[in-house]
C-alpha cells in the first residue's frame, strides 16, 4: 500500500483513480466527521451516510478539469459534511442551506456544486450508457461529467483533435439512438 501523507498526494491519487486516495480520507477524517455528527444529535448511521455523500461530492469536484485546492483538505471535508448535516437537520428540501451564524461555506466549498436534481428518465439513460462501447462511455463521461477538454481526451486516447471530435459525435449519436428506441424512456417523456 502506498502512503499518501499530503493533501496533494491524496488528490493526485483520487484524480488517477487509485482507491488508496479515498481510503486515506477514511483513515484521516472519518472520526472527525463522526464526532461532529454525534455531537449534533446524529447517530453513527448518519455519520456514515454524510461521510459517503461528502466523499462523492469531493471526488466529483477533484476529478473535474481545473480543480485546485483552495483550503486544507480537512477544512474542505469538514465544511461539506457540516453543510450537508445542517441541511439534513433543518429538513430543507430545496436549495442550499444558508447558515445563520456567520459561517460562509462558499469560502471553502466554492468548487463543490450542490446536488444536481435528476429525474427517472435520467436514470433510464444512465442505465443505457452501459450498453454503448467502453470507449464511448469513457469519452462521454470525461467530456460531460469531468468537463475535460475534447483535445485533452484525444491526447490521452491517442486521437487527433479532429478524430476525437468525430468519435464523440458518433458516441452521442449511438446513445441517442438507444434512448430513442427505449420504450420506457418514450413512455416517461409522454407522461
d(CA 11, CA 22): 9
- To other proteins, the closest distance from the beta carbon of 155 in angstroms equals 19
What is the C-alpha to C-alpha distance for residues 171 and 169, in angstroms, rounded to an integer?
5
**Closer CB to other proteins, 9 or 188, in the complex:** 188
Measured from the CB atom, is 31 or 151 closer to other proteins?
A: 31
Is residue 8 involved in binding other proteins (CB under 8 A)? no
What dihedral do alpha carbons 47, 60, 76, 4 form, nearest 10°?
A: 90
Whole-number minimum distance, CB 117 to other proteins, in Å? 9
Site for other proteins in 14-43 (CB under 8 A): 19, 22-23, 26-27, 30-31, 34, 36, 38-41
Query: In the numeric block, which cell numbers belong to residue 116?
Result: 444536481
Minimum gap (Å) between residue 69 Cβ and other proteins: 18
Which of 169, 181, 184, 187 contacts other proteins by CB under 8 A?
Answer: 169
- Does 55 sit near other proteins (CB under 8 A)? yes
Alpha helices in 7-149 (DSSP H): 7-15, 19-38, 44-63, 73-89, 106-109, 120-128, 134-140
Contact status: 45 vs other proteins (CB under 8 A): no
Provide Rg for the chain, Cα atoms.
20
- The reply on whether position 167 binds other proteins by CB under 8 A is no
- Contact flag: residue 140 with other proteins (CB under 8 A): yes
Burial of 168 (0-12, 13-18, 19+ CB in 10 A): buried
Residue 42: which of 84, 78, 104 has the closest Cα? 84
Which residues sit at the interface with other proteins, rule CB under 8 A?
Answer: 19, 22-23, 26-27, 30-31, 34, 36, 38-41, 44, 48, 51-52, 55-56, 59-60, 63, 82, 101, 103, 116, 118, 121-126, 128-129, 137, 140-141, 144-146, 169, 172, 175-176, 179-180, 189
Amino acid at each position: 500500500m502506498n502512503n499518501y501523507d499530503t493533501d496533494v498526494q491524496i488528490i493526485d491519487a483520487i484524480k488517477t483513480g487509485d482507491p488508496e486516495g479515498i481510503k486515506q480520507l477514511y483513515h484521516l477524517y472519518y472520526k472527525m466527521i463522526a464526532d461532529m455528527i454525534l455531537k449534533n444529535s446524529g447517530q453513527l448511521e448518519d455519520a456514515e451516510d454524510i461521510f459517503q455523500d461528502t466523499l462523492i461530492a469531493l471526488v466529483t469536484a477533484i476529478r473535474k478539469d481545473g480543480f485546485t485546492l483552495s483550503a486544507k483538505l480537512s477544512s474542505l471535508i469538514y465544511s461539506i459534511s457540516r453543510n450537508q448535516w445542517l441541511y439534513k437537520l433543518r429538513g430543507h428540501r430545496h436549495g442550499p442551506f444558508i447558515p445563520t451564524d456567520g459561517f460562509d461555506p462558499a469560502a471553502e466549498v466554492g468548487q463543490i456544486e450542490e446536488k444536481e436534481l435528476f429525474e427517472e428518465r435520467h436514470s433510464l439513460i444512465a442505465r443505457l450508457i452501459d450498453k454503448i462501447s467502453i470507449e464511448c462511455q469513457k469519452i462521454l463521461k470525461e467530456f460531460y461529467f469531468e468537463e475535460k477538454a475534447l483535445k485533452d481526451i484525444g491526447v490521452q486516447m491517442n486521437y487527433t483533435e479532429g478524430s476525437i471530435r468525430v468519435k464523440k459525435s458518433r458516441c452521442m449519436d449511438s446513445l441517442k439512438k438507444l434512448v430513442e428506441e427505449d420504450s420506457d424512456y418514450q413512455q416517461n417523456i409522454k407522461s
